[in-house]
Amino acid sequence: MSDMTMEQRLALNHYDVDTEAHIKIKPDVCRECDLRPCLYVCPAECFKFKEGKISFSYEGCLECGSCRISCEREAVEWSYPRAGFGISYEYG
Amino acid sequence: MSDGFEAIVVGAGPAGCAAAYTLAKAGIEVLLIERGKFAGGKNVTGGVLYGSVLHELIPEFWKEAPVERRVHRHMISMLSEKSSVSIDFNTDNSDHPESAGYTVLRARFDRWFAQKVAEAGGMVITGSRADDLIWEDGRVAGIVAGGDKIPAKVVIAADGVNSLLADKAGLGVSLSPDNVNQGIKEVIKLPRQTIEERFNISADGGAAIHFLGFCTRGVHGGGFLYTNQESLSLGVVVQLKALIDSKLKSVELLESFKRHPTVREWIKGGTPVEYSAHLVPAGGLRMVPQLYTDGMLVAGDAAALVLSTGRALEGLNFALASGIAAAETVKMAKEKGDFSQKTLSQYTGLLSESFVLQDLVRFYGAPQFLDNLRLYSVYPELACSLAERVLGVDGNPKRTVWQLAREEMKGKVSLWQLMRDAMAARKTI
């Protein structure tokens, strides 16, 4: 079994993707951060660091809360997706 | 719905379902509300469900519940990069199914459990998120869900590790990277017969393997492998702080874990069908918050009621038992017609009489013991390297096991340190 990419992994799952993000980040705060724990703790790699900026894409979020707990600067405005949206596990 | 309910339970996991089921059975008007499209849709386990608590609530549940396999083979495997040393316990426990452990897949299991709540007369609403609490004269008086106010005499928050409701009531757990573990898991499909032959298990029997060492590349955490009926659950559980400090991603650990020569053979030919993640409170009693306030109780992961020992993290039975205790407290409160803090404080009394708080008290020091990194690097590697020398023949004059052990320990751990760790382990494993 060869390694899967994150895209391949997340494609295994069923999501009902909302049109609006349930998690938002504060770019001004993120810009000041050099630790960037979100890059390591997000199991779905929703956080990316490109050209000096953190970006977040909510579509593949597994709703675990790791980013919420790990961000010391409280730059992650965390909530669950709206009812009926987000990850829907078939096995769990 | 303007009259509201006697009780609202938020979250249809094991704590919430056990609470709602107990209340419904007692004829109390209860609403069980779940944000997933169906109960279990947001839930993940990396554990084994031991039968005793649920058997008391729903006798012989294993005959009707969608459990995967009854575990009769337990293994603990210590891994180095290429080797493993295992303890392998196998038994025939088919004659006492009530105390056996069962592998479960939560999307199926929780769905069944919520169905049981509905059959018992509880109202179950899925696909609805509890966003806020209703406050009346300083006490919790219901919830707000999707803009609707739903009044209740009491609310049981069983909404999981990220309990936003408990936070709103000031009962929230203080979660931090050093008291929370992240579990990630793959469900890997394999034919039923292959699983039974490969793991040497019976037709309805199962195996549970816990790993220590290379599965987390020496950082605070462990690995697991469980047999389901037609799939395997393979995952790693790592302390969040360890991920941050080592700049490792848990998915990288999972990939190298899958490539380990021992694990590779277990999962050979399998097809991954799901990738999941969930957090586990792992700080023990120290992180358990106040469990009640006027009009509200907190149960399960939302209250960090997870036992962390040197052996495993155990949350399922703690969730079930705390859900039942919360419901019993509500039954008492209804009889008295008083849902104030004073009456609801009996909840902690009930938990103190059960294993829930007794175990958490007994293993109070375990989370600190588990911060000892030798558990994840030095000892598993030592076990493997010593086994290789003891069990091998290299053409040189032989030495005793003790002589080999002393040689292998050199530069890795002193005898003094080993003894100190063993002494500490006495109280925590």
pLDDT tens profile B67-112: 999 999 999 999 999 999 999 999 999 999 999 999 999 999 999 9
pLDDT tens profile B127-150: 999 999 999 999 999 999 999 999
pLDDT tens profile B44-67: 998 899 999 999 999 999 999 999
Give every CB contact of residue A44 below 8 A, 6+ residues apart in sequence: A6, A10, A60, A61, A62, B277
Mean confidence (pLDDT) of chain B: 96
- Grade residue B310 by pLDDT with cuts at 50, 70 and 90: confident
Q: What integer is the mean pLDDT of B179-183?
A: 97
Residue B47: predicted pLDDT: 86
- Distance in angstroms (rounded) separating the CA atoms of residues B295 and A25: 34
Question: CA nearest A61: which of A39, A46, A78?
Answer: A46
Q: Which domain holds residue A33?
A: 6-88
Residue B203: predicted pLDDT: 94
Residue B122: predicted pLDDT: 98
pLDDT of residue B38 exceeding 70, the answer is yes
Task: Give kind and range of the element (H or E) at residue B70.
Answer: strand B67-79
The DSSP code sequence of B152-196 is: EEEEEE---SS-HHHHHTT------TTTEEEEEEEEEE--HHHHH
A1 contacts in chain B (CB < 8 Å):
258, 264, 267-268, 270, 272
Mean confidence (pLDDT) of chain A: 95
pLDDT of residue B336 exceeding 50, the answer is yes
**Residue A1 belongs to some domain of the structure:** no
**Residue A38 belongs to some domain of the structure:** yes
Closest CA of chain A from B398, distance in Å: 40
> What residues 5-34 of chain A have any CB closer than 8 A to a CB of chain B?
6, 9-10, 12-13, 16
pLDDT of residue B2 exceeding 80, the answer is no
pLDDT of residue B196 exceeding 80, the answer is yes
Residue B59: predicted pLDDT: 97
**Residue A37 belongs to some domain of the structure:** yes
B19: tokens are 């609470």
Q: What residues does B224 pair with on adjacent strands? A: B210, B235
Q: Cβ of B257: how many Cβ atoms within 10 Å?
A: 26
Strands (E), B180-306: 180-189, 205-213, 221-227, 231-239, 271-281, 292-293, 296-298
Interface touch A89/B43, C-beta < 8 Å:
yes
Question: CA nearest B163: which of B130, B196, B122?
Answer: B130
Residue in chain A closest to B246 (alpha carbons) equals A40
Closest CA of chain A from B39, distance in Å: 10
Token look-up 């003894």 returns B419
Q: Are B238 and B219 in contact (CB under 8 A)?
A: yes
For B31, B81, B110, B139, the CA distances from B20, given in Å and listed in that order, are 7, 47, 13, 21
Taking the mean position of all CA atoms in its chain, how far away is CA B71? 16
Residue A25: predicted pLDDT: 96
Residue in chain B closest to A72 (alpha carbons) equals B176
Residue B155: predicted pLDDT: 98
Share of chain B above pLDDT 70, in %: 100
Closest CA of chain B from A34, distance in Å: 12
A92 contacts in chain B (CB < 8 Å):
40-41, 43-45, 105-110, 274, 276
pLDDT of residue A68 exceeding 70, the answer is yes
pLDDT of residue A33 exceeding 90, the answer is yes
- Distance in angstroms (rounded) separating the CA atoms of residues A37 and A72: 9
B218: amino acid identity, one letter: G
Q: Which domains does chain B have, with CATH numbers?
A: 5-66+105-173+288-353 (3.50.50.60), 180-281 (3.30.9.10), 368-426 (no CATH)
Q: What integer is the mean pLDDT of B180-195?
A: 98
Q: What integer is the mean pLDDT of B188-212?
A: 97
pLDDT of residue B192 exceeding 70, the answer is yes
Residue A1: predicted pLDDT: 56
**Residue A13 belongs to some domain of the structure:** yes
pLDDT of residue B1 exceeding 50, the answer is no
Q: What integer is the mean pLDDT of B379-391?
A: 96
| CATH number of the domain that residue A68 is part of | 3.30.70.20
Domain count, chain A: 1
